[in-house]
Chain A
Amino acid sequence: EVQLVESGGGLVQPGGSLRLSCAASGFSFSSYWMHWVRQAPGKGLAWVSFINSDGSTTSHADSVKGRFTISRDNVKNTLYLQMSSLRVEDTAVYYCTRDLFSGMDVWGQGTTVTVFS
Chain B
Amino acid sequence: QSALTQPPSASGSPGQSVTISCTGTSSDIGGYTYVSWYQQHPGKVPKLMISEVNRRPSGVPDRFSGSKSGNTASLTVSGLQAEDEADYYCSSYAGNNNYVFGTGTKVTVL
Contact = CB atoms under 8 A, between A and B. Distances in A.
Note whether A and B form a binding pair.
yes
B99 A47 contact: yes
A102 B52 contact: yes
B51 A44 contact: no
A58 B98 CA distance: 9
Given A35-B99, A47-B91, A47-B101, A104 B45 contact: no
Interface in A34-59: 35, 37, 44-47, 50, 52, 57-59
A46 B99 CA distance: 9
A44 B3 CA distance: 10
B10 to A, nearest CB: 15
Contacts of A47: 91, 98-101
From DSSP, what is the main secondary structure of chain A's interface residues? strand
B35 to A, nearest CB: 8
A2 B104 CA distance: 27
B69 interface: no
Interface residues of A, number: 25
Interface stretch (A22-30, A79-87, A105-113): A105-113
Given A59-B96, A102-B36, A44 B102 contact: yes
A88 B18 CA distance: 37
A95 B46 CA distance: 10
Contacts of A46: 3, 101
B55 A101 contact: yes
B15 interface: no
A62 interface: yes
Interface string B17-40: 000000000000000101010101
Given A44-B102, A102-B36, A105-B48, A61 B97 contact: no
A100 interface: yes
Given A45-B89, A47-B91, A47-B100, A103 B3 contact: no
Contact of A102 (B45, B93, B96): B93
Interface of B: 1, 3, 32, 34, 36, 38, 40, 45-48, 50-52, 55, 57, 87, 89, 91, 93, 96-104
Interface of A: 35, 37, 44-47, 50, 52, 57-59, 61-63, 95, 100-105, 107-110
